[in-house]
Amino acid sequence: MQSVLMDVDTGIDDALALVYLLSRPEVTIQAITCTAGNVGARQVALNNLALLELCGRTGVEVAVGAEVPLEIPLVTTEETHGPQGIGYAELPKPAGEISPRHAVDVWVETVRAHPGEITGLITGPLTNFALALRREPELPRLLKGLVIMGGCFNYQGNTTPTAEWNVSVDPHAAQEVFAAYSGLPQDSLPVVCALETTERIEMRPEHLQRLAEAAGAAEPELVLPEHLQRLAEAAGAAEPELVLPEQPEGQRSRSRNPLVACLSDAIRFYMEFHRLYDQGFVAHMHDAFAAAVAVGRTPYATRPATVHVETGSPRLIGTTVADFRGIWKEPANARIVTSNDPGQCFDELISSVGALARSLPLRSS
């Protein structure tokens, strides 16, 4: 069994990361803690409660932590992830409640109770984890491991020319986290999934169609004479789930599979955003890759490095720099992912999330 404690800023790719982990029978999600980032922390928590219920998985604690960064004002990005943080997807108000515990208490108490057993996964700004480290400096030794989605090394930023979003939202927290890992044994250092490898996890429309097929929600071969097609549709039979660039912006999924519909509506928004910024009708699934890394189900290679996060320069704040050669004569504090296999990662995500979707009751048309 794999035990994961995740801190997120859900977020469309955070949502895919969560449903992927929920699709893994061997994974136990100890708790989900929420930080402000893509959207506000409480909206992040509501998104996670709603996604858990969509997947029929209640009983996972969802806690809110820091609602603002350590030192700089909060910036959110509804233009990237939608007003609620899950694109065009509209999920019912969750029945579940946000935990009364603070995220920092969840991290410190849970990891102390399960020494050496829990893999931490952080797919948002590092505010909560930095605060947890202040409370319990032994966290790096008590955790089984830590995977962070964040930073960019010798690679264009996605928030400023040199900074990646999660680090950019709270650079002081990121710097504290890397400093806390300085000098630890290499196999204890955080595995850092940064933009130069996460942007290779580039979701395209055919991936969404494959996901719908894996969920049994699209029968692309089911090409019937038009009158029979109409009859089949009237009977709620599957129809091809297509998210295509030529479709009107904001078109909603008609899939009767609730998870397919949610992901199609969420990811369409993300694809439209990437197209707006000349990256094509694609969606970078940064966090889903980090989740597959955290549970060891996608190949990757890493290199040890000493990471510094710039916090003093107005123009370069949030920039992450990696010393791979020991020039600074400081011990390594991270293992940066240097290669991955996008094809295998999508095969893994699609087959596993598709199987979860297939298990869910269909919604009425």
166 part of the interface to ligand RIB, by CB under 6 A:
yes
Query: Which of 45, 59, 351 has its CA nearest to residue 207?
Result: 351
**CA distance readout (Å), 291 to 24, 90, 170, 262:** 11, 24, 21, 19
168 part of the interface to Ca ion, by CB under 5 A:
no
272 part of the interface to Ca ion, by CB under 5 A:
no
Q: Could you give the count of Cα atoms lying within 13 Å of 294 in the half-sphere of its Cβ?
A: 33
82 part of the interface to Ca ion, by CB under 5 A:
no
Footprint (CB under 5 A) of Ca ion, residues 108-167: 123-124
CA–CA gap between residue 249 and residue 274 (Å, rounded):
13
Contacts of 215 (CB under 8 A, 6+ apart): 257, 259, 260, 353, 354, 357, 358
CB under 5 to 8 A by kind: which of Ca ion, ligand RIB, none does 305 bind?
none
- Of 93-101, 131-139, 159-167, 266-274, the segment contacting ligand RIB by CB under 6 A is 159-167
Among 9, 196, 213, 272, binds ligand RIB (CB under 6 A): 9
319 part of the interface to ligand RIB, by CB under 6 A:
no
Contact 269, 12 (CB under 8 A): yes
11 part of the interface to Ca ion, by CB under 5 A:
yes
- Of 8-16, 43-51, 208-216, 271-279, the segment contacting ligand RIB by CB under 6 A is 8-16
CB under 5 to 8 A by kind: which of ligand RIB, Ca ion, none does 165 bind?
ligand RIB
- Of 28-36, 48-56, 164-172, 228-236, the segment contacting ligand RIB by CB under 6 A is 164-172
CB contact burial 153-192 (16+ within 10 A = b; e otherwise): beeebbbeebbbbbbbbbbbbbbbbbbbbeeeeeeebbbb
- Report the 10 Å Cβ neighbour count for 268: 27
Q: Which two tokens stand for residue 90?
A: 């509209």
7 part of the interface to ligand RIB, by CB under 6 A:
no
Q: Kindly state the smallest distance separating residue 248's Cβ from ligand RIB, in Å.
A: 25
- Of 7-15, 26-34, 213-221, 327-335, the segment contacting ligand RIB by CB under 6 A is 7-15
CA–CA gap between residue 13 and residue 345 (Å, rounded):
14
- Of 109-117, 157-165, 206-214, 254-262, the segment contacting ligand RIB by CB under 6 A is 157-165
CA–CA gap between residue 145 and residue 99 (Å, rounded):
25
149 part of the interface to ligand RIB, by CB under 6 A:
yes
Task: Identify the DSSP state of 93.
Answer: P
Total residues at the site for ligand RIB (CB under 6 A)? 15
Total residues at the site for Ca ion (CB under 5 A)? 6
Residues that bind ligand RIB (CB under 6 A): 9, 11, 13-14, 37-38, 123-124, 149, 158, 164-166, 286-287
Residues that bind Ca ion (CB under 5 A): 9, 11, 14, 123-124, 287
